[in-house]
Amino acid sequence: MATILPALALVACSNDDPGALKGTWKVTEPFPVTVTFRDGEMESMGSTKKVSYKTEGNAVLVTYKEGANKGSTFRYAVIDADTIRSGSGTFHRAGEAP
């Protein structure tokens, strides 16, 4: 029983809903990239990967469940409804908010 409770706590911390990230975003610097966040997945550069999302204050943490980045977590700070910032640069929403 003691090992089950911590595992349940970890599962409750992340989910498939991208929250404020939902939709398509573009960054131009340092190089142009378009990223789409959907329930349980993220698409970038023609590749779709399974991910989980966790909200921490004004940030959304994206953790890869597969691929070369499996287990890696990336932080996206939500600046406003049309702007997010990460280590990859400042992204702007492409099109209308979902």
Structure confidence by residue, pLDDT tens digits, 44-82: 999 999 999 999 999 999 999 999 999 999 999 999 999
Rounded to a whole number, what is the distance in angstroms from the first to the last CA of the chain? 41
pTM score: 0.81
87: which 2 tokens? 């280590």
CB 30 within 8 A of CB 98: no
Structure confidence by residue, pLDDT tens digits, 79-94: 999 999 999 899 999 9
Complete domains list, the chain, with CATH? 15-93 (2.40.128.640)
Structure confidence by residue, pLDDT tens digits, 5-34: 333 333 445 699 999 999 999 999 888 999
| Closest-CA residue to 42 (of 20, 24, 54, 15) | 24
- List % helix, strand, coil for the chain (3-state, nearest 5): 15, 50, 35
